[in-house]
Amino acid sequence: MKQTQFDKHTIAWFRIAECVSRGEKERALGVYRLLSHSFNDNAVARQLEADIHLSFGEQELAIPLYQQAMESYQKSQRFLEAVAVCEHLIAMHSADVIWRREAIKLYKMLDNTSKMQAHTETVLDTLLVTGHDHVLQEFMSMLSALSDELYEYAIEYIKK
């Protein structure tokens, strides 16, 4: 019985990929809806739905779904998956500091200092260029609440 269920899931995944490759959006979403009923994982379901929309160039529909997936991963303490989705959102909107702030928080949960620092530098560079002092102060407050070490790193980076 388990093998049959696995086979059906595998076929459904390939069917979605086939529909996407042929440009059949409604059909891909229909197969997704059928497959999603068998998921016990809302995060994976939202991420797959977002992937389908993104594959058809519907970024404005995909972004909130990716955000929902990221939040679901966080709630279930799957921080690696959450940060992977967050990095995908950053790749889609590299100039938007909101996703980088989320990435910093997630990398804190994963204890990945180098990634926290890299995203902190990018946010600081962006905020210093745009001259939004109030946003910079808010960002520094977030860093201070998150990690004394990261806050000190940011202070030193600004001084450079």
Burial of residue 60 (CB within 10 Å: 0-12, 13-18, 19+) is exposed
Backbone angles phi, psi at 137, to 5 degrees: -65, -40
Helix (H, G, I), strand (E, B) or coil at 58: coil
pLDDT confidence of residue 98? 93
Amino acid identity of 127?
Answer: L
pLDDT confidence of residue 15? 86
The model's confidence at residue 3, banded by pLDDT at 50, 70 and 90, is: very low
| Residues 84-106 as b or e (16 or more Cβ within 10 Å = b) | ebbbbbbeeeeeebebbbbbbbb
Q: Give the C-alpha separation, 141 to 136, whole Å.
A: 9
pLDDT confidence of residue 9? 55
Q: Where in the chain is the domain with CATH 1.25.40?
A: 1-78
pLDDT confidence of residue 124? 95
The pLDDT tens digits of the residues spanning 106-130 come to 999 999 999 999 999 999 999 998 8
- Greater confidence (93 vs 122) lies with 122
The CATH fold of domain 1-78 = 1.25.40
Q: Which two tokens stand for residue 6?
A: 């696995």
**Most confident segment among 3-17, 29-43, 78-92:** 78-92
The model's confidence at residue 34, banded by pLDDT at 50, 70 and 90, is: confident
The model's confidence at residue 1, banded by pLDDT at 50, 70 and 90, is: very low
Of the listed ranges 25-39, 50-64, 130-144, the one predicted with least confidence: 25-39
Helix (H, G, I), strand (E, B) or coil at 76: coil
The pLDDT tens digits of the residues spanning 36-69 come to 877 789 999 999 999 999 999 999 999 999 999 9
Q: Give the C-alpha separation, 61 to 44, whole Å.
A: 16
Q: Give the C-alpha separation, 115 to 151, whole Å.
A: 14
Comparing CA positions, the residue from 49, 50, 23 lying closest to residue 37 is: 49
The set of long-range contacts for 19-25, using a CB threshold of 8 Å and a minimum separation of 24, is: 20/52, 20/55, 20/56, 23/56, 25/52, 25/56
As a whole number, the mean pLDDT across the chain is: 90
Taking each helix axis from N to C terminus, what angle separates 79-92 and 97-109, rounded to the nearest 10 degrees?
Answer: 160
Q: Give the C-alpha separation, 7 to 9, whole Å.
A: 5
